[in-house]
Amino acid sequence: MNNQKDKLLDELRFWLPIMKEHAVFIGIGLPCDESKLIKKAQDYENSYDSLIKKVKCPNEQSLDTIAEEALNLNLEFIQYLTFVLDSLIECTLGGSLYPLLIDHMRREAIRFSVNIIKLRSKSTIIPTEELIQKELFWSKIMVDHSEFIAHFLDPSEDKFINDAHMFSDAFNRLHCQAEDFESMLEITPRPIPSLIRFSNEMLQVGEDFRRFNIAIYELLNSCQILSIIPTQLAKHLLQEAERFLFEIKRDLNSLEYIKSPCDLYSAPMPPVFPPSNTPCPSCPSPNPSMPTPCYPPIQPMPHPSCPASSVPEAPILKPSTPETENILTIDAKKSEIELIVPAQPIVRPKKNFFQPNTSQIKINFK
């Protein structure tokens, strides 16, 4: 498989189990008299489980079919999450689900859907923009995780609650700084040294938070901490913390391919997985292998520079018009559940960077 297919397979293998667990958590947290919503959550759980089995060892032909099924299921799940969220914030639904928890799940479902569309259409953005967008997404996700842990712990667990709030504050600061980098590099994105330093700072906080998640998970398993956090949820949070580190490190590695600003628009992407000779345990030889992601160490990147004579002229960036906009539009199938208010389209990225091969993705809901 090529690099785009490898990345698509990687996305499916990680996010399908995450979406399945989201459906499980929703089913547990809904009021017992909401039988229709609970049944729908169980249906999503079963549908995601079916796709998880299919994606274990696909061939190149079946991968696109699985991705199409995953996208359709995910777009329907987004509408379900929207209904649950709207019902919570309109105070027409009880239970033990925080509105922010459902919004958190929906943000992840939207990102998963957008990544499927982007990888299937072979749409790319330059590495610096990719890194900043992931830092924005994951820093906010980690803020939420910190707050969920703090609010699911028993009030007597002061030390761990304070630690969780400390991580929330740290990731909040990082998120704000990532927004600043997004703004400063919107017109001329490039891997400036301060961005590399900032990214490594985010990784350091992420590593500390990963260790905190491991401690919470192990203490829950040994009944040494008081909380209402299900063990499955603690493991879920740990998996996402590890994914956050993996994606940021992978994108930082892609910037290492950029030797100078001249190479900014032609930097190749590093492989998603290292070479692996480990066969997939679910398939007889010679079916495709199932490698495991690794987390290579990140080396500080020197200040990028190139001789003035080799610097190409800056491209003239022209505002897009309705005739020239590069927008990839997807129409989601109508959900069985009627939304409280009409759903507005989703557009990602929210800003158009006017770069070659960069398509804005627009998802319409009927």
| DSSP character at residue 315 | P
Cα–Cα distance between 235 and 175 in angstroms, integer?
A: 24
pLDDT at site 326: 65
Q: E strands along the chain, which residues?
A: 327-332, 346-348, 360-365
Collapsed DSSP state (helix, strand, coil) of residue 153: strand
Q: Is the pLDDT confidence value at 356 over 80?
A: no
pLDDT band at 357 (very low <50, low <70, confident <90, very high): very low
Cα–Cα distance between 214 and 236 in angstroms, integer?
A: 11
Domains of the chain from N-terminus onward:
1-122+326-366 (1.20.1260.120), 125-262 (1.20.1260.120)
Stretch 42-59: mean pLDDT, rounded?
93
Q: Per-residue DSSP letters for 224-260?
A: -S-B---HHHHHHHHHHHHHHHHHHHHHHHHHTT--S
Q: Is the pLDDT confidence value at 163 over 80?
A: yes
pLDDT at site 4: 81
pLDDT at site 329: 78
Opening angle at CA 303, ends 203 and 249, nearest 5: 25
Q: Is the pLDDT confidence value at 349 over 70?
A: no
**β partners of residue 348:** 361
Q: Per-residue DSSP letters for 291-304?
A: -----PPPPPPPPP
CA atoms within 13 A on the CB side of 285: 3
Amino acid at 238: L
Residue scoring higher pLDDT (209 or 317): 209
Across 134-156, b (16+ Cβ under 10 Å) vs e yields bbbbbbbbbbbbbbbbbbbbeee
For tokens 């990345």, what's the residue?
7
Residues in the chain: 366
Cα–Cα distance between 198 and 162 in angstroms, integer?
A: 24
How confident is the model over 264-306, as pLDDT tens digits?
A: 444 444 444 333 344 444 444 434 443 333 333 434 434 344 4
Q: Is the pLDDT confidence value at 80 over 90?
A: yes
